Structures are given as C-alpha cells and as structure tokens.
Amino acid sequence: MEYGAQEAPAEPPQEARAMLNIYDILVVVFYFVFVLALGIWSSLQASRSTVGGYFLAGRSMTWWPIGASLMSSNVGSGLFIGLAGTGAAGGLAVGGFEWNATWLLVALGWVFIPVYIAAGVVTMPEYLKKRFGGQRIQVYMSVLSLILYIFTKISTDIFSGALFIQVSLGWNLYLSTVILLVVTAIYTIAGGLTAVIYTDALQTVIMVGGALVLMFLGFKEVGWYPGLQEKYNTAIANVTVPNTTCHLPRSDAFHLLRDPVTGDIPWPGLIFGLTVLATWCWCTDQVIVQRSLSAKNLSHAKGGSVFGGYLKILPMFFIVMPGMISRALYPDVVGCVDPDICQAICGARVGCSNIAYPKLVMELMPIGLRGLMIAVIVAALMSSLTSIFNSSSTLFAIDIWQRLRRKATEQELMVVGRVFIVFLVVVSVVWIPVIQSANSGKLFDYIQAVTSYLAPPIAALFVLAIFCHRVTEPGAFWGLIFGLVVGALRMILEFSYGAPSCGERDTRPAVLRDVHYLYFALLLCGLTALVIIVVSLCTPPIPEEKLVPLTWWTRHCSPPGPEGHYHCHPPRDREPALSAQESQTEDSDLKKKESPAPTQSCWQKFYFWFCGLSPTPTPVLSPAEKAAMERKLTSIEETPLWRRVCNINAIFLLAINIFLWGYFA
C-alpha cells in the first residue's frame, strides 16, 4: 500500500490521545449503533431470498439512494487520505479526477445502463458472456476483478481508515480493523444490496456534512481562498535538502490544466488518459454499475447518475483544498522533504503528505466534532467496504460458482455469496501486515497508477462491445490478454524501481521516468482496441440476431422468435402498467415472504432469518410468468416527463462542470 512503511506503535501519540474526550467517543459509539440498526432494519425490509432481491435490491431503488451510494462507494477512506495528500503535495490538479467523473456518470446513465438493463444481466462478466459467448472472458474478468478488489480497494481502505482511527482514538490497528470489518460484514451478509445502499445514503450525509464543517474551519484559519493562495505558496519546511527545489510548492498549484511535458498531472493525460480510467471505474466496474442496476426503472438510474455527479463536484472543496490548507498550516510536518525527518514523522522517506487530512482533523476540530470527523472516516471506510463486499460476492456466486456448479439452486447461490464475504474479511485482516510494510509517498497517485496498468484494456473492450458489432470473441479475448501482459510489465517495473526521494537521482528506465501513467493508460487503451479490431476482422463475425439486445444499436430490439427474426422498435413514451398476472408474478419472485416450517429448531430459524432464505420450496413459474417477469426487468422505457427532467438536469450538471473547469483551468 501507498501509505508508507509504518509499524503500528504500541501506544498512540499522547498529543492525539489528549485531544479526545468522552464526547468524541460517544459520537463514534452512537454512530456505530445507529448504522448497525439501520442496516438490520433495511435488511428486514429487503427482499433477500432471490438473486434479484439480494444482489440487486429487488430492482426497487429510487434515484436519491442510488446517487448517494455511487458517491460513498467511490469515496472511501483511502480517497480521503490519498486525495488530500496529493492536494497537499501538488495542488488543485488532482481534483480534476473527481470532476472528470461527472461526465462518465452521465455516460453511465444514458449510454451503458440502458444496454445492461436490456441485456438482463446482474454482473459485468455476465454481460460479456452474453455479448461474445463462451466462458473464458467471463471467468477472466471475474478473477481479475476479485484480485483487484482484494489487493487494492479493500486493502487501501482498511489500512488508511484503521490507521486514522488508531491515531485519533488510540485503538490498536488490528482491533480497529476487526471491529470495522465485523460490523460491515454483519449487515452486508444479512441485508444484501438493499441494506448496503440505505446505509450508504446515511453515510454520505455524515461524510459530506462533517467534511464541509472541517473545510469551513480550515478556510477560516488560513483567511479563506486568497489566504490559502498566499500561505500555500510560502509553505516551505524549515529543513530542506540543499541544491534541490522539491521543497518548493509548485508554481502551478492553483491550476487544473498543467504543462503536457513537465506537469506532474499533464493536461492531455488529465482530459483524455483519465477518461479511459474513469470509463472503467464508472461504466464497467461491478461495484458502481450494480448500484444503477438496482434502480426500479431507467429514469431512476439516470437520476441516480445525475445526483452522484453533483456530489462528485464536492471533493475538490472538502478534501483537496483542506489537504492544501493542512500543508499551509503545518509545512514542517505535511511538507517535509528531508528523508530522515519524514521517516521520523510518518515512517515514509519520500514524504508525509498522506497525513495532511488526519493532521487537520486533530488540530482544528473542536470537542465533539472531532468525534464526528472520526465517524466521517469510518463512514467512508464502511460504505466502500460494504459495496465491495456485496459486489465481490455477486461476482463469485454468479460468474464463478455457477460455472463450477451449473445446477446450483438460488438458495445455494445466496449462501455461497454470504460465505464468500466471510472469506474476504479473513483475507483482508491477513493482508494488513503486508500493507503496513509497503513504502510509498502519495496514496492516491499509487491507486491511479496501478489502475492505469490494468483497467484500460477492460474499458476498451466494453466500449467496442457496446458500439461495434464486428468485434468477436477471439478478438476480445486476445485483446484482453495483450493488454494484461503490457500493463503487468509496466507495473512490475513500477514496483522494481521505487520513486526517488528528494535530492536523489532518478535512475528509473525512460518508460517510467518520461511516460506519465495517464499517457500510458491512453496508449494501452489504443493498442488494446487495435488488437481487438484486427483479430476480430480476421475471424468470422457474430450473427446479427445474436447481438439483440446487447449493443447500443439493438437495445430496443426484441430477441429473435422461433422463426429466427428479430424486431426493433423505437422507445415508447410510457412504461406499460403491469397486468394483474405480472404483478402477482413479481410479488411471488422478488417479494416472497418467509414461512418457516413449525418443526425448525432455534438455530435453524436464526440461520434462515439471517440469510434471508425461505425453508419452503421456491414456486415454479410457468413460461408465461417467466416471460412477463423478463419483460419487466429488461424494460428501458420511460415516461416523457421524467425523461425530460433527467435530460434537463444532466445538461445543467454538465454546464456547472464546464464552468468549474474553466474557472480553475
């Protein structure tokens, strides 16, 4: 992990411990109790006995919890620590990562989700299997996604969140981690996606509220934005490295768009290379897409994307700028450059910018509100972990377990998905010592760099799969393999040659030293797309009727009937009302009540309640009932009013985004 080599101290710093009192502790305890209660309540309300109910919340979610969950699933504790740290080290440009997300969230709601819903899929590897046929792409994607979740997302969030709690509360790092994991696992296992989304919505409110309080306190301390500009540009540590300039704040710190060659985040990379990474993150990653797939209809999925886009504008102001404020106020600590001093302060020789946010919290927040900020970091950690746990169990149960056991019942998939969450918890705890011993400087840069080596081939494949009919299964598979090999080579080089400390000569190969990771992402995406297209042109095309309704061009088409023909129709203006039979079918499938047998023992009753299973056999649906259910779940029709409302809001959101880019460019 990118947080720096740091042994867990037996005793936390006395300064940190002295700043906390009983009110802070009570706020944190109340938060834990409230979130757990909400998780249990929402799990009792949820339909949890079917794949659609457990993994997609019965496809009953409305726009506002979806948008809040999109935000909190992405903004974990690793982002709080890493984004503020990179802002402290380099200025505003890293906020462009957040603002770029707005465009891809709109693309998710208007381009990708209609295809996914029409295809009737639960997971992203399942979509690729339907689109291309065969099994190897589905398994490849599932395994790669699970590896990425375990060793990047879960580990970064756990370590940064637990370390923050260790410093502020004085808890042991392992105790902090175990408590957090147990609480999150309980309501994730019990409640499925419904509990995850509702608790995410609560945690988004706490997260945004607490972070805004700290932002206002920080701006007040430095003299608002003009004061920040003045103090940040003079924030130089007392001890510097002779004959170097690495201790000086960047002259372009308050500009989003920077020099394409010498900039730490060059503007072509920020605009184009980052779009590749964001396409993977927001439009093809299971954790994010699963939230939108839980929407009750397409309009709510679009509304969730717009609401999430508005929320993603905020981290620039309540994470990046507070990180810069922290360096302006504490340059000797946050802005240290001497490797020996940095090692003594935070355990990382390449810099201590990652402690910018925790340092600001412990110094500026008053009694009681400090407990709120600890709850904010806990909220960020728990919301991202629950999202990853639920999505990982979905991938494992649907794409891997079903392949191993083709006749697995729906109850078996429910149990396997829940057991896999327990496995993830155990692996996460075991992985902590490995994270602790890692040594790097900027957490956020590290996460984005690793993503740029593995994600571009996936983004290229999904874009081509949705828009290009001529792409075939061999082209898709060999394109993914080519991209993985090239990306893995760059990643191996990255880990083999550590980043130089201030004053040290950069001995890394030119491909690392001179090719920014955002440029590499763009290059890798282009090369992968080229391989996919060339191999596809050399292989027989997929018949057109097999692409219904799996592409953007065929999303409104009906699957071919017995005669082999398919029919395409323009989108109708209103969603058809369910007939009495369809409504009854939906209730029996997605909202089936549990009716335990009277002879069950106590532990059996608890088992069935906790796992949301029904001891009575699942009713067998007739072909007509199955067809009615399929039509309902794959409908992408909208009422004219709400389609218009979503379109106007999307245009307004993008206009605000363009203004902000122009103002800070």
Q: Domain spans of the chain?
A: 18-443
Phi/psi at 392 (5° precision): -65, -40
Helices marked H in 46-76: 51-56, 63-74
Q: Are 138 and 126 in contact (CB under 8 A)?
A: yes
Domain 18-443 sits in CATH 3.30.300.30: no
Whole-number pLDDT of residue 16: 37
Assess whether pLDDT exceeds 50 at residue 596. no
- Whether residue 487 has pLDDT greater than 80: yes
Q: What is the pLDDT of residues 207-240, one digit of tens each?
A: 788 888 888 988 888 888 888 888 888 877 777 6
pLDDT higher than threshold 50 for residue 574 = no
Percent of the chain with pLDDT over 70: 68
Q: Is the pTM of this model over 0.85?
A: no
Q: How far apart are CA 307 and CA 302, in angstroms?
A: 9
Q: Is the pLDDT of residue 573 over 70?
A: no
- Quick one: pLDDT at residue 83? 83
Is residue 267 within 8 Å of residue 92, measured between CB atoms?
A: no
Please name the residue that has the structure tokens 């002295």.
18
Contact 487, 469 (CB under 8 A): no
Please name the residues in contact with 156: beta carbons below 8 A apart, sequence gap of 6 or more. 1, 2, 76, 78, 82, 435, 443, 447
User: From its phi and psi, is residue 213 left (phi > 0), alpha (psi between -120 and 50) or beta?
Assistant: alpha
629 close to 59: Cβ distance less than 8 angstroms: no
Q: For residue 319, which amino acid is it?
A: I
Tell whether the model's pLDDT for residue 339 goes beyond 90: no
Whether residue 453 is predicted with pLDDT greater than 80 in this model: the reply is yes
Interval 604-615 mean pLDDT: 50
Residue 350 has a CB neighbour count (10 Å cut-off) of 21
Say whether 61 sits in a helix, a strand or coil.
strand
Going by C-beta distance under 8 Å and a sequence separation of 6 or more, which residues neighbour residue 130? 119, 121, 550
State the DSSP string of 427-468: HHHHHHHHHHH---S-HHHHHHHHHHHHSHHHHHHHHHHHH-
Torsion of Cα atoms, 496 then 524 then 142 then 97, to 10°: 90
8 A C-beta contact, residue 364 and residue 221: yes
